């Protein structure tokens, strides 16, 4: 084989490798998000707490039961983010924000707020439970976030439960930027607004 023939063979052998390297290169790293700011904490039980509120369960629709962040494109199309994901289960993320926000708002009432899975505290004189069913929670970067949820305020008595109210909340929150970080921040604000409605309903019972 001549030097020219060897060079041609070598070049043709390298082309597929270069092509494959371009096609199967390393993919971008995934980014993980949480709804709850780090400074948010739920109030703990104290000796003078006379009221408790259990937030949850929070039921979310099937299209949101995934790690990928879901956005909406048009009226009937949803889009799954390839590399932008939730750090945990979205239902738990929503519960965490609601517990922290309701706890902060009801702090003057010496109210202990906890996730619904937590064990009840017998020392509490009055206990409420707030189950929530989310029917929509999505949006688009640079546009708006939409949160629709039906929730109930239930007073827990010794041997039965009494439904105080059943409401549907529809919340729209503007997304400040075109990135997923701005989208998640807007989603967090939407959940906090829902938390205000929950806290107001409890406060109205006093």
Predicted local distance difference test score (pLDDT) of residue 123: 54
Write down the pTM of the prediction: 0.81
Of the two residues 36 and 168, the one the predictor is more confident about is 168
Helix H segments across 71-143? 90-105
Of the two residues 39 and 55, the one the predictor is more confident about is 55
Of the two residues 7 and 36, the one the predictor is more confident about is 36
**3-state SS assignment for residue 128:** strand
Predicted local distance difference test score (pLDDT) of residue 2: 57
Predicted local distance difference test score (pLDDT) of residue 164: 95
Q: Is the pLDDT of residue 49 over 70?
A: no
Of the two residues 29 and 70, the one the predictor is more confident about is 70
pLDDT > 70 fraction of the chain, expressed in percent and rounded? 76
State the pairing for strand pair 68-73/161-174.
Answer: unpaired
The pLDDT-based confidence of 150 (bands split at 50, 70, 90) is very high
Could you tell me which residues come within 8 angstroms of residue 101 by beta carbon, excluding any fewer than 6 positions away? 40, 191, 192, 195, 196, 199
Helix H segments across the chain? 3-23, 90-105, 180-203
**3-state SS assignment for residue 160:** coil
Section 72-98 average pLDDT = 90
92-139 per-position pLDDT tens digit? 999 999 999 999 999 888 888 888 877 555 556 668 999 999 999 999
């Amino acid at each position: 084989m001549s030097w020219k023939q060897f060079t041609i063979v070598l070049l043709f052998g390298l082309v597929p490798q270069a092509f494959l390297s371009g096609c199967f290169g390393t993919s971008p790293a995934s980014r993980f998000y949480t709804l709850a700011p780090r400074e948010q904490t739920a109030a703990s039980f104290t000796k003078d707490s006379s009221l408790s509120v259990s937030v949850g369960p929070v039921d979310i629709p099937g299209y949101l039961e995934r790690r990928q962040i879901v956005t909406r494109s048009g009226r009937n199309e949803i889009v799954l983010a390839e590399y932008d994901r939730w750090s945990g289960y979205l239902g738990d993320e929503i519960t965490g924000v609601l517990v922290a926000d309701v706890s902060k708002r009801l702090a003057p009432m010496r109210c202990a707020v906890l996730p619904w899975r937590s064990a009840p505290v017998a020392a509490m004189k009055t206990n409420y439970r707030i189950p929530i069913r989310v029917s929509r929670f999505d949006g688009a970067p640079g546009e708006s976030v939409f949160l629709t949820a039906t929730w109930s305020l239930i007073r827990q008595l010794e041997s039965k439960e009494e439904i105080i109210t059943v409401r549907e909340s529809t919340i729209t929150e503007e997304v400040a930027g075109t990135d997923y970080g701005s989208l998640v921040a807007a989603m967090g604000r939407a959940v906090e607004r829902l938390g205000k409605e929950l806290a107001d309903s409890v406060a109205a019972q006093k």
